Structure 1
Amino acid sequence: MSGTIEAPGGRLGRMISELAGWASPDLINLSHAILEMVDRRGSVKQPSLKQIKEAVAGVAGVSVDDLSSERRDRAVKRPRKVAMALCKHLTLAGYSRIGNAFGRDKANAIRACRQLDPLIALAARTVPPDATIGDWARAMLANYEHIVGAD
């Protein structure tokens, strides 16, 4: 699923330029990241849920099938939650679609994403602008217990 947004030189670009006068640095950085995601045709470039699952599984050392399985051990549960949160953060997918992609329901996706909001915020401040999905996953998994706590 991809949405369309006016290209950086258009109305969206002007709106973001106007933010510089009053917005927080975090909001301005987010705005620049959004502009970088928009290609010349105005289409948002976003990874697929499958690409995110594959990247997180590779970093965590579990199989993609494990992320959608019924397994609840920490070795699978943490990467699953990280992948769900990244799906919400990096795509336009809704909670129902994310939950379905992981064999879960909407409520599970909402809980996982909300629980990992502080972890997404930390990763957003620490990963470089050109970071891969794997970089995001590594940063989130490395700080999981410190930010989210033991599960």
Structure 2
Amino acid sequence: MEQRIKELGAYYVEHDISLDDLKQIRKELRTEKLKNESLNNEHFKRFLSLKDKQIFSGNLTIDFFMSSVKKGSRLLSIHESELLILQLLMANPHKTLKDKEILNVLAAYGYSIGLKSLIVYVSRISHKIGKTTKQESYIKRHWKQGYYWNVKVGAQEESV
């Protein structure tokens, strides 16, 4: 195993492959895996369609290509797993997504968590993004069923 790691390291150095390149490859492979596993699921198809988009909802601007979330003009600190949850919910506004569906997306991206952790993640996201200017919650919970995005969502053309 150690020899294989050395060979891979030498290959990366020889071909000038950076850590950022590897992260991008990893992200693309996970997206492809998710796409192959869930071709018949409309929620996942819409999730994948937002991959390179900038989305507006209430006073939030989320750029999935740049992995950034802004509330008004303030940039929020957000973890990749939280961004994946936002992407799935916003891709399916006003539709309840079962906890298991959300957990499956996270698992496809390497985040194997349980239901209690999902509740904590969503709670953390809700606290970060707050409420709309009309004081509505962005994320709502259908008790023991799942979550849904409660605010209208608009998209802009692909980021470059």
TM, length-normalised to structure 1:
0.33
- Structure number with the bigger relative contact order (C-alpha 8 A, sep ≥ 6) is 2
TM, length-normalised to structure 2:
0.32
- Computing the radius of gyration over CA atoms, which structure comes out larger, 1 or 2? 2
Looking at secondary structure, tell me which structure has more helix per residue: 1
